[in-house]
Structure 1
Amino acid sequence: MKKITTVSYLASCIALAAGGVQAAGFDIGGTNVTFGGYVKLDAMVTDADGDMASLGREFYVPSLTPIGGDSTTRFDMHARQSRFFFSTATELEDGSKITGHLEFDFMTSNNGNDQRTTNGYSPVMRHAFIKYKNWTLGQTWSNFMDVASLPDTLDFVGNPDAAIFIRQAQVRYTHGNFAFAVENPESTVTPFGGGARITTDDNATPDFTASYSLKTDWGFVKVAGLVRQIAIDDGTFDDEVTSYGLSVSTKVDFSNKDDLRVTFNTGKGLGRYVGLNTVNGAVLDANGNLETIDVTAFSVAYRHLWNDQWRSTFLYSTLMADNDTALTGVGVTKTTQSYSANLLYQASKKLMVGIEYKFANREVESGLDGDLNRIQFSAKYDF
């Protein structure tokens, strides 16, 4: 059985996240530097049961699917997903190597959003990390996440209902196929009876993650675990609770070059780690004590290659929250789900255009729900 180390697995995931194309390197004072990225245009028409927050009009955010409003149709166009990165590699005096990676995009920038004239957006840091021997230090994808199992979609994430999607500062140690990390903590809490989300950073410990990745002749599989503390100490409430989760993902390669990508995530208090924080990690009871909220999510994506230039992905993704409505109220999200299908044309190695349809639904504990229908066109140039 052919295996792959976690170090090389992480490297391949970073290349995938950066667009999979790197420019030729050049040397500066003994350091090899490469530059790459992509330019991407997204244009979409969205029909939803109510008006949407601006972020949800730029890519699919499950918690922003509106409920109970009048049907609205909106057209949006942007190039904010475009990104660029610098990677460096330096050989040290003892023959070992240290590498660095800096990557930016404009997707979640809050600066310069003036669509009347310039449409200017400030760069936002995605990755900033160094790697030395078995160590990774800096900001990158969480060790609890599997980038390589994300579906081949035009949407920014593709399967955010089910995906673990987190970039944060961490210290990671790898040994063979195993990886262990301490990562930056942050938590979200629902007030007793429901209401505006409380974001808290009162942890006394980091988030702890561990993973095992295995490459085989038929694809790969990754199993990851998370243990963390959810804490609040804001002068009114003072409590903490332990949260934990399990993530299993796989990509199965078929002989005709098609593939199947599956992810399954479950746990107590997963909160921000899954569903783009659709569900909070914990809820306060009447006495000001924290109780974790259970969440289970999964997605299945089948990618079919029609020929060397045309391909499609068919995707289903869902998230299910086990809310105690006596604590959370009935206005919180109970389930989200989405379906999508696309047709992508690889005009050349570095140029892709495509069209994608997505349907999404969100239901709250009261039984009310809302739908979203979106058609998206994209063009992407890797450099």
Structure 2
Amino acid sequence: MTGMTLRHRLTAGLLAASCMMPAAAQAQDDASMEARIARLEALVETLVERLDTQETRTSGQQAELQAQTEAVLVETQALQQEQAQLATQVAAVTEEQERDGFSIGNTQFTLGGYVKLDAISQRTSGGQVGSGSIVRDFLIPGAIPVGGTASGWDTDFSARQTRLNMRTSTDVGLENPVGTFVEVDFMVTSGGDERISNSYTPRMRQAYMTYGDWLLGQTWSTFQNVGALPESMDFVGTTPGTVFERQPMIRYTSGGLQIAAEQPETTVTTSSGGRVLAGDDTLPDMVIRYNHGGDWGSLTAAGIVRSLNVADDDFGMGDDSAFGYGLSLSGRIRVGERDDLRFMGTAGDGLGRYIGLNIVNDAAVNINGELDPIFTYSGFAAFRHFWADDLRSTIAGSYFKADNPVMLTGNQVTDESWNAFVNLVWSPASRFDVGIEYMYAERMLENGLSGDLQKVQVSSRLSF
């Protein structure tokens, strides 16, 4: 090995390590690395001088010089590898920061949501659904028309499901940061009609704060397992068999265990089949839930207890309260590499407003003003299959049954409801979905009358 070759190798290695220094300096304190580079520079200068005069050295001295040179090269290469690793870490951190949002002061902001367009064509066998009705936006089992003249196929386009959210994390100088989450969409709100503007008022979906194991604010009920819901073009999908509720709460989480005190509200059915919101609740709905998961999927078990209440000012027949309760088991089980089975089963007394968008009420009231909780049971099952990496389908069905005290509620209230759907979803790019879905749903009253709804829906959604 000639002196010129060694000189080139030493100089090139040292230069590469030095050039990488600015990027690595962003990742951590590099005082030790700077010291190592300075020491290597001094060694290289000495070795280069000795290489220039090595022809006067003995063979033993030249061998010693060669060994020292190789040692410097080894340390230089090690330094290069460390600097390369640091540069990779810096790039990863930078990419994550860009993806996660931006910072103002001590607060990190992250924006998210999606834009969705729905094209829906539906018909109902038991009566016409009016233009602008929310029943034309998504399935509401308790509002399927019954007993009227069948409608034709009515078509609507809507972007109302478009959703925006903002998440923050603020360092307040405590052990944990304080987080917040606020989300809005444009469903079930007033606004412009389909003649001109199609403008709709934003509504608050979720708004809560978190600190450590605590959540305070409005979000999905702890009694509901959102992770078990199947993929559907419809807003909910398996609505008759689904626990579905968002409300204010205080929730504590420890591992898989969750305990929550949530917004109480008693919905009462009168003898005419009407609905009264008493607003006389004194105790929160209490929920306890346990989540368990693994590579195979996840399971959730949840229980709820409620105090249902009415007062003399509601019916003029005195005050009364009743005990409500419910149990729900739900989950998502992996089938093969990518497919999955999702399910939910729920039963209880006085659960009315928690099931299927309040298909029936929590309780009925008798002539003495006493509450009789209504027992219900419901559930759904859904299977999702991937035909290819960018193509998948879900087939699902759900069912609801109420044990109405007909002597109190009358026979015009919902006794049963069920639905089924199948869809095909194509994802031509990351976070971009295009899907088509067919749904059939039916509602039966206590008097035996029924009505059905058929719907074809095409949707496109871009998430961000």
**TM-score, normalising length: structure 2:** 0.76
Structure 1 residues 348-363: aligned runs within 5 Å: 348-363=429-444
Structure 1 residues 61-72: aligned runs within 5 Å: 61-72=140-151
Which 5+ residue runs of structure 1 have no aligned equivalent? 1-21
Aligned match of 2:18 = none
Equivalent pairs counted in the alignment come to 360
Aligned match of 1:97 = 177
Q: Secondary structure, in 3 states, of the residue corresponding to 1:286?
A: coil
| C-alpha distance in structure 1 between counterparts of 2:151 and 2:460, whole Å | 26
| C-alpha distance in structure 1 between counterparts of 2:382 and 2:268, whole Å | 31
Aligned match of 1:226 = 304
| C-alpha distance in structure 2 between counterparts of 1:234 and 1:72, whole Å | 43
Aligned match of 1:200 = 278
Question: Which structure features the higher share of helix residues?
Answer: 2
Structure 1 residues 234-286: Cα deviation after superposition (integer angstroms, max 9, x where no partner): 52142111100011101001223100001001100101001100010000112
Q: Aligned residues: percent identity?
A: 41
Aligned match of 2:109 = 33
Aligned match of 2:252 = 173
| C-alpha distance in structure 2 between counterparts of 1:133 and 1:256, whole Å | 34
The match for 1:46 among 112, 116, 122 is 122
Does 252-261 or 49-58 show the bigger shift?
Answer: 49-58
Determine if contact 1:39/1:79 at 8 Å carries over to the other structure.
yes
Structure 1 residues 277-315: Cα deviation after superposition (integer angstroms, max 9, x where no partner): 001000011222100000000000000110001100000
| C-alpha distance in structure 2 between counterparts of 1:43 and 1:361, whole Å | 21
Amino acid paired to 2:199: G
The match for 1:291 among 372, 379, 395 is 372
Structure 1 residues 50-101: Cα deviation after superposition (integer angstroms, max 9, x where no partner): 1125111100000111111111121111100001000001223234211110
Verify: 1:253 aligned to 2:334, yes or no: yes
Q: Secondary structure, in 3 states, of the residue corresponding to 2:135?
A: helix
Determine if contact 1:240/1:290 at 8 Å carries over to the other structure.
yes
| C-alpha distance in structure 2 between counterparts of 1:195 and 1:161, whole Å | 19
The match for 1:215 among 293, 314, 317 is 293
**TM-score, normalising length: structure 1:** 0.92
Question: Which structure features the higher share of strand residues?
Answer: 1
Structure 1 residues 1-383: aligned runs within 5 Å: 24-49=100-125, 50-52=127-129, 54-73=133-152, 74-110=154-190, 112-192=191-271, 194-235=272-313, 236-237=316-317, 238-383=319-464
| C-alpha distance in structure 1 between counterparts of 2:209 and 2:151, whole Å | 46
| C-alpha distance in structure 2 between counterparts of 1:163 and 1:184, whole Å | 19
Determine if contact 1:23/1:36 at 8 Å carries over to the other structure.
no
Amino acid paired to 1:153: S
| C-alpha distance in structure 1 between counterparts of 2:308 and 2:400, whole Å | 21
Which 5+ residue runs of structure 2 have no aligned equivalent? 1-97
| C-alpha distance in structure 1 between counterparts of 2:392 and 2:172, whole Å | 44
Q: Secondary structure, in 3 states, of the residue corresponding to 1:161?
A: helix
Determine if contact 1:232/1:239 at 8 Å carries over to the other structure.
yes
Amino acid paired to 2:426: Y
Amino acid paired to 1:145: Q
| C-alpha distance in structure 2 between counterparts of 1:214 and 1:363, whole Å | 36
Amino acid paired to 1:35: L
Task: Kindly state the Cα deviation for residue 367 of structure 1 after the two structures are TM-superposed.
Answer: 0.7
| C-alpha distance in structure 1 between counterparts of 2:403 and 2:129, whole Å | 25
Determine if contact 1:163/1:274 at 8 Å carries over to the other structure.
yes
Q: Secondary structure, in 3 states, of the residue corresponding to 2:239?
A: coil
Structure with more relative contact order (C-alpha pairs < 8 Å, separation 6 or more): 1
| Structure ID, larger Rg | 2
Aligned match of 1:4 = none
Q: Secondary structure, in 3 states, of the residue corresponding to 1:339?
A: strand
| C-alpha distance in structure 1 between counterparts of 2:457 and 2:442, whole Å | 17
Task: Kindly state the Cα deviation for residue 23 of structure 1 after the two structures are TM-superposed.
Answer: 5.2
Determine if contact 1:23/1:35 at 8 Å carries over to the other structure.
no
Aligned match of 1:16 = none
| C-alpha distance in structure 2 between counterparts of 1:145 and 1:66, whole Å | 27
Q: Please report the RMSD computed on the Cα atoms of aligned residues, expressed in angstroms.
A: 1.2
| C-alpha distance in structure 2 between counterparts of 1:189 and 1:222, whole Å | 29
Does 235-244 or 338-347 show the bigger shift?
Answer: 235-244
Amino acid paired to 1:146: N
